[in-house]
Structure 1
Amino acid sequence: MKIGVDYYPEQWDRALWKADSDLMAKIGVKLVRIGEFAWSKLEPRDGQFDFQWLDEAISTFSRHAIGIVLCTPTSCPPLWMYETYPDIVQVGADGRRIQTGIRGHRCLNAPMFLYYAKRITEQLARRYANNPAIAAWQIDNEIEAYPCTCETCRGLFRDWLIDKYDTLENINAAFGNSVWSGEYSDIAQIKPPTSYPRAWQNPALCLDFARFSSDTAVKFVSDMAQIIKRENPRAKVTTNTFFCENTPDFYKLFSMLDFTSYDNYPPVRISGDDNNPNSHAFELDFMRGLKQRNFWVMEQLSGATGSWAPMGPTPKPGQIKGYAMQAMAHGADTVMHFRWRTANKGAEMFWHGLLDHSNVPSRRFKEFAELCREASKLSVIETTELVSDVAILYSPENDWAFRIQPQTEGFNYLEQLRYFHAAFTRYGTNVDIISPTADLSKYKAVVAPAMYVYDKASAENIYRYVIKGGTLIMTNRSGVKDQCNNCIMEPLPTVYREMIGAEVKEYDPIGNTEQTIADFAGNKFTCRQWCDILEVTTARAYAEYKDSFYAGSAAVTMNRYCSGVTYYVGTICNMDFYESFAGNIMKQTGIPRLKDLPRGVEVTTRTNGLDDYIFFFNNSEEEADITLPKAMYSIIDGGERETLTLKPFGMDIVRK
């Protein structure tokens, strides 16, 4: 297990490089990430390259056997490029070029930007791709599906649509352009969505533009990766990502890359609201599920954050180490902290790193050094992975479509995934978050929340899973739209109706109004936001509404279909419902449960096929006592343990 840091040699005097590398080596840092914002230093003028400083920086760290993650600097083109080629700047939805002056202004389709991006990547690859100090490559930085509306992007979007639909008539039909007299009579009339709110615009156009923008980001990353691979086919290439406003299709983004990388900034304030799951365990399981493999954290919380917003609170004692270990518990094999030194110039000077402006090692730095020492004990789990009994399906197209047309006050697609994730992990089971088209056969239970936009391959995959004996959970707003983001003219949940054994005879978007449901055992739970009023055909009611004109109607159903079982949750509830429901599902499917875990304690298991290693993480501000089912050996402290006492944000790992 490797701990690393993000470092910016171009921002610091050379005299610091040696001192920093010496200190890194002393405390056990194994990797540094460099270069993602350094284009103006690497190419100060058009065609004039300066790699001497980078050679020196790499040598400074590699003499300590500290590996290098080398980044391509294409996120920040030099100002000379913007001045010479102003058309490389993105154009916003309002038709105006965005202002330069920070970062990420470039259009990924602009011909001259692509020329220079490929050239600088080729120069770096030829010089360093076979350098033994280079442990991995990162393409660009936190790339998004930028919704650029420049003339180049408009033309490529039109080409993309013609490739997909073949004719203008087919585009008109797919978009439903007879509404509001929107029919195209010439391809030049096709334009990306404007700066009007998305919900006011054609939802089919908006969804296809989201797909196109994502494909643009995927193609750019893939092209840059291929340049590096041409120089060294064995080079390990990735890109770092996060949940952003313009989230690309992560499955496609990482499909051509060697591993997934994530920028992990868990919240340091612990919510006391049980209905607000805020653990980054969800994000970590999400990233592991993108390739269904272990991943890296390319940026990890190191201090108080503050650039785009006022500074947040500083991490509490235990959080620097605890949240890095939490990432490892969910499949991160490498965790790199952002950043080694807090910047003393520029917009990010208050996004704190490990060394503060004082240049004196602080509490956080000492905790990071302790993390490095502890990680060195974990070689035994380097070949382990997480094996899960439960999967939750995430669809980028559903995510985009819900953003285009919000359903009701408070409704959030990812929130439904989070609720189910928090409920199942509450019992100490591993959970994978995966694509709706992934192999489902190994899972004892699969949750498919809000399968809003119909996808033939996904629907067939889900049916196949249930037919062969799987246990499936679906939720409200499933089967609503066709592939073009138009409503399907059938009773909901349309294509899933037979498998669910019930129909939505009416729905009530209640927003933040609260109502009550009661399950088969008489337990009552609060529901809100959405109420599907269900009429059962072959299904049975698992829970019924107690309020409104539909009191007594089914809210949650269970249906036996072929060899499997399908549950349908027609509303959105508070957390206590999901915990009760998940517990029942686990009991019915034989998934092992850990009972009576203290609130905030998270449990995951990594295995190498012979030995299982159980991670107990106390993600709370209170000390937690845990009684183990039998005496187990602690990897952290050594020795047999029958009970564990975890300090706030503390972790122990035991061999089962």
Structure 2
Amino acid sequence: MIGIGVDYYPEHWDRELWEEDARLMKESGVNVVRMAEFAWCRMEPEEGRFDFGWLDDAIDLFQRNGIQVVLGVPTMTPPAWLTQRYPDVLPDLPGQASSRPGVRGHRCYNSPSMRRFTRIITERMAMRYGKHPAVIGWQTDNEFMLHMCRCRHCKNGFVEWLRNEYGTLERLNREWGTVVWSGEFSDWEQIGLHETPERYMNPSLLLDYRRFQSESVVNFQRVQVEEIRKHSEGQWITHNTWTAPLPLDLAALYGELDFASIDYYPASSADKAVSNPYSGALLLDLIRGIKGKNFWVMEQYGGPPGSWMPTWPSPYPGFIRAFAWQSISRGADGVLFFRWRSGVAGAEQFWHGLIDHGNVPGRRLAEFRRFAEEAGALSERLYGSRVENEAAILYDFDSHTALQLQPQVDGFDYYEHMKAVHRSFQKLGIGVDVLHTPDQIASRYKLLVIPSLFVIGEHTAAKIRSFVEQGGTVVATPRTGVKRTNNQCHMLQLPGPLADCFGVRVSEYDPIGPGVHAIQDESGNLYSCGLWNDLLETTSAEPIARHAESFYKGTPAVTRNRLGSGQAYYVGTFPEEAYLRSLFGMIAGETGIEARTDLPEGVHLSRRKRGTESVLFVLNLSREPNAVQLERPMKSLLTGTIAAPNLELEPYGVEILEIDS
């Protein structure tokens, strides 16, 4: 069953409202609610004194109404008694308000007190609800993010982590290159973060500290996972990450969980109406790629966010329904809207829900009801079907983090570059998987893009090389192969350990930043490029585009190399999107990937498959009407009618079509 639901906070509302809320939810198509992820102070109002009666009543109420429950472990918000009695719970984050009680996220993952009380509250919840027939699953904590905490527990934990990683100070000094600036350590206790701005600090230390803190999050979460697994039966566990990739190793975070989840808030402002649907598509593909399987959306846009920022514009008619279908089209098996009703108290008063403060159902709830009715009718057909693609992009946590630590040129951002690559595929109607580890590179893919794979070890290089030799096509972009896994530079001409794979050497590079240059392809077409230009020397590759200006005019800018049964393209600049679409379209033709060049701006295609059954989602995620040419008439699963080959879509229009097997 497709999960269709809302996030609900019974502890925020008088009990008189609960019954009517549950009734209206059921009437509106809700079949699941998420609760309790911020309610620690109500479950344990004083140390060792627990009160679950109110939560029992809320769960029982929803069970009577045929609505299932997902419970959140409330460790993102330690109660006041905990931070007062055990101040080591609070992280040491200089200059950051989130290290103070009464906000949220005010906990150090390495605090012994925090881990002890996390185990206690999780154990009590799991023992009570681990076999409750209405509770189908659990959410660990809420929106984990990396804390660069500098408390003594983090410092001691980091030193222990380094001892396990490097064994000796001699090896650590060598791997970090601490001889630079006379920074060699002679005692483990000398290692730590200081008030010095990070841009002046050793980049190897900084990358390792982020790896350590990312592992700390995983270890903190493991406490919750252990207790839930110990006391539950048939219930799943997930976590809700949020927004663009954080400097957090999501592959490791979700390694012990059943599936990944995301909080998805597509921007409703007019100035982002064009770009945001493509950014959202990447986010959803990235979440699906973490586990290589379907996911849930634990918080879907239900109303304009606001509170600690100016309130977003009201959603355009159809916006809520269309973006909910976008989530399902890209692999969501559950979509829960934040939130049922706008809060009347607290810092999120103006982070609006499906119903406003006045508690009168309006346009947003009506739109949710329409989506819920449609999704419920198609639940049996869609649930468990999968998104299967032939193209992939490799996202790399180490490269993303290292490029944040050492920005290479004014205007460059790793994730924004990923967006440009992904958006080019979407505009060609090509579905893309986002991989998180090199071990996910598989022969089923015909095309793999490795955008700015800045940090690369031999294992990753071997996986990419083997993929090409066995018939795959790979595309790389500038700043690939620069660093070793210890964040020191390779003493190799770029692209470093992949130079032979691509058949090129970077003889020199020109960080042009916001300046605009041009490249010219073999047909004489000119395309703009910017940020960075690699000057390439071919060893076995052939040029397919050249720089069209500056002192290196005529130098190869884009090359193609044949290796084994496959080929490797090196794009030695950051070209405009039109060139990327041209390049990927050409490669699609070579590799047999279905592509099209006639999709209107804002129209997205996605497929879900199960066995021989396939469903095509056609979404017009724009404020303008659009038309899409279908290959042939197809049956609409929304209306039961046959959709004409010239499919017309209203603004934020949705069509779901049956594809003949």
Q: TM-score, normalised by structure 1?
A: 0.98
After TM superposition, give the deviation of residue 95 of structure 1 in Å: 11
Q: How big is the shift at 1:548?
A: 1.0
Q: Which AA in structure 2 matches 1:127?
A: R
Structure 2 Cα separation of the partners of residues 500 and 32 of structure 1: 51
SS of 1:376's equivalent? helix
SS in 2 for 1:385: coil
Deviations 1:569-591 (A, max 9, x none): 11112211111111111111111
Distance 1:70 1:277, change over 3 A: closer
Q: Give how far 1:141 is off.
A: 0.3
Q: Please say if 1:325 is aligned against 2:311.
A: no
Give the equivalent residue in structure 2 for 1:262: 262
Q: 1-side partners of 2:104 and 2:618: how far apart?
A: 40
Shift of 1:456: 2.4
Give distance in 1, aligned partners of 2:206 and 2:147.
13
1:652 aligns with 2:655: yes
- Alpha-carbon distance in structure 2 between the residues aligned to 1:259 and 1:239: 8
Match of 2:188 in 1: 187
Contact 1:144 1:244 in 2 (8 A): no
Instruction: Give the Cα separation in 1 of the matches to 2:97 and 2:330.
Output: 43
Alpha-carbon deviation of 1:31?
0.6
- 8 Å CA contact retained: 1:343, 1:349: yes
Aligned to 2:431: 430
Cα separation, 2, equivalents of 1:179 and 1:274: 47
Q: How much does 1:365 deviate? A: 1.3
User: Who is 1:137 aligned against?
Assistant: 138
Residues 546, 554 of structure 2: 8 Å contact kept: yes
Residue in structure 2 matched with residue 451 of structure 1 by the alignment: 453
Of the structure 1 ranges 55-64 and 641-650, higher mean CA displacement relative to structure 2 is found in: 641-650
Q: Judge conservation of contact 2:519–2:548 (CA < 8 Å) in 1.
A: yes
Report the AA paired with residue 215 of structure 2.
D
Q: Is the 2:99–2:107 Cα contact (8 Å) retained in structure 1?
A: no
Match of 1:504 among 503, 506, 513: 506
The corresponding residue for 2:555 is 553
Post-superposition Cα deviations, 1:429-463, rounded to whole Å, max 9, x if no partner, equal: 21100122213210010111111112222111111
Cα shift readout 1:514-536 (whole Å, capped 9, x = no counterpart): 11111112111110111111111
Counterpart CA distance in 2 for 1:561 and 1:273 is 42
Change in CA separation of 1:261 and 1:586 when aligned onto 2, cut-off 3 Å: same
Shift of 1:196: 3.8
Secondary structure at the aligned position of 2:209 is classed as: helix
Aligned position for 1:524: 526
Q: Is the 8 A contact 1:147 1:246 kept in 2?
A: no
Query: What is the aligned partner in structure 2 of residue 543 from structure 1?
Result: 545
More displaced, 259-268 or 274-283? Answer: 274-283
Q: How far apart are the structure 1 equivalents of 2:651 and 2:551?
A: 47
Unmatched runs of 5 consecutive residues or more in structure 2: none
Q: Distance in 2 between matches of 1:452 and 1:158?
A: 26
- What is the CA RMSD across the aligned residues, in angstroms? 1.6
Post-superposition shift, 1:271?
4.6
Post-superposition Cα deviations, 1:46-91, rounded to whole Å, max 9, x if no partner, equal: 0000000000000111111100000111111110111101121000
Superposition map of 1:75-94 within 5 A: 75-93=76-94
Deviation sequence 1:340-367 (CA, Å, 0-9, x none):
0100101100111011011111211111
- Distance in 2, matches of 1:256 and 1:268, equals 34
1:120-169 CA deviation, whole Å, 9 max, x = no partner? 00000000000010011000000112211100110010000010000011
Letter in 2 for 1:422: R
Alignment check: 8 A CA contact 1:466 1:561 kept: yes
- Matched to 2:608, the amino acid is R
Which letter does structure 2 place at the counterpart of 1:650?
G
1:15 partner SS: helix
Kept in 1: contact 2:266–2:276 (CA 8 A): no
Give the Cα separation in 2 of the matches to 1:603 and 1:442.
20
Residue 272 of structure 1: how far off its partner (Å)? 7.4
Letter in 1 for 2:322: G
Matched-pair contact (CA < 8 Å) for 2:318–2:651: yes
- Kindly state the Cα deviation for residue 376 of structure 1 after the two structures are TM-superposed: 1.4
For the Cα contact (< 8 Å) 1:437–1:457, is it kept in 2?
no
State whether residues 129 and 228 of structure 1, in contact with CA within 8 Å, keep that contact through their aligned partners in structure 2.
Answer: yes
Letter in 1 for 2:204: A
Q: Secondary structure at the match of 1:280?
A: helix
Distance in 2 (CA, whole Å) between partners of 1:157 and 1:651 is: 50
Partners of 2:53 and 2:272 lie apart in 1 by 52
Distance 1:364 1:356 in 2: 9
1:97 and 1:31 map into 2 onto residues whose CA distance is: 31
Separation (CA, whole Å) in 2 of partners of 1:276 and 1:2: 25
Which residue number in structure 2 is paired with residue 158 of structure 1?
159
- Give 1:307 shift: 2.4
Q: Residue in 2 aligned with 1:480?
A: 482
In structure 1, what is the Cα distance between the partners aligned to 2:135 and 2:297? Answer: 17
Query: Normalising to structure 2: TM-score of the pair?
Result: 0.97
Q: Which secondary structure state, in structure 2, belongs to the residue aligned with residue 344 of structure 1?
A: coil
Residues 95, 149 of structure 1: 8 Å contact kept:
no
- Name the CA distance, whole Å, in 2 between partners of 1:564 and 1:606: 28
CA distance in 2, matches of 1:44, 1:102: 17
How far apart are 1:246 and its partner, in Å? 4.8
Could you tell which deviates more after superposition, 94-103 or 157-166?
Answer: 94-103
* Deviation at residue 233 of structure 1 after TM alignment: 5.0
Alignment of 1:600-611 (within 5 A): 600-611=602-613
Structure 2 matches for 1:100-115, cutoff 5 A?
Answer: 100-115=101-116
Letter in 1 for 2:655: D
Counterpart-to-counterpart distance in 2, 1:24 and 1:595: 43
Work out the CA distance in 2 between the residues paired with 1:409 and 1:466. 33
Cα offset, 1:245, TM superposition: 8.2
Distance, in Å, in 2 between the alignment partners of 1:303 and 1:96 is 26
Letter in 1 for 2:458: K
Distance (Å, rounded) in 2 between the aligned partners of 1:271 and 1:390: 30
1:501·1:538 contact (CA, 8 Å) conserved in 2? yes
Specify the code of the residue in structure 2 equivalent to 1:145.
L
Distance 1:378 1:95, change over 3 A: closer
The question of whether the paired residues in 2 share the 8 Å contact of 1:619 and 1:648 is answered with: yes
Q: Distance in 1 between matches of 2:10 and 2:369?
A: 21
Q: 1:636 is matched with which residue?
A: 638
Cα drift, residue 243 of structure 1 = 3.5
User: Does the 8 Å CA contact 1:198/1:405 hold for their aligned counterparts?
Assistant: no
Establish whether residue 359 from structure 1 lines up as the match of residue 352 from structure 2.
no
Q: 1:305 touches 1:351 (CA, 8 Å); kept in 2?
A: yes
> How far does the alpha carbon of each residue in 1:611-642 deviate from its partner, in whole angstroms, 9 at most, with x for none?
11100000111111122111110001111112
Partners of 2:129 and 2:232 within 8 A in 1 = no
Q: Secondary structure at the match of 2:46?
A: coil
Q: What one-letter code is carried by the residue in structure 1 that aligns with 2:449? A: V
Q: What is the aligned partner in structure 2 of residue 416 from structure 1?
A: 417
* C-alpha distance in structure 2 between counterparts of 1:272 and 1:49, whole Å: 46
State the partner residue of 2:586.
584
Q: Is the 8 A contact 1:91 1:97 kept in 2?
A: no
Matches within 5 A, 1:148-227: 148-192=149-193, 194-227=194-227
Please tell me the residue identity of whatever aligns with 1:494: G
> Does the Cα contact within 8 Å between 2:482 and 2:495 map onto a contact in 1?
yes
Distance in 2 separating the partners of 1:528 and 1:441 = 33
Q: Secondary structure at the match of 1:629?
A: coil
- Percent of residue pairs bearing the same amino acid type: 42
Task: Say whether the 8 Å CA contact 2:299–2:337 is kept in structure 1.
Answer: yes
Of 599, 612, 615 in structure 2, the residue corresponding to residue 613 of structure 1 is 615
**SS of corresponding position for 2:439:** coil
CA contact (8 A) 1:342 1:354 kept: yes
Q: How many residues align?
A: 655
Instruction: State whether structure 2 residue 241 is matched by structure 1 residue 238.
Output: no
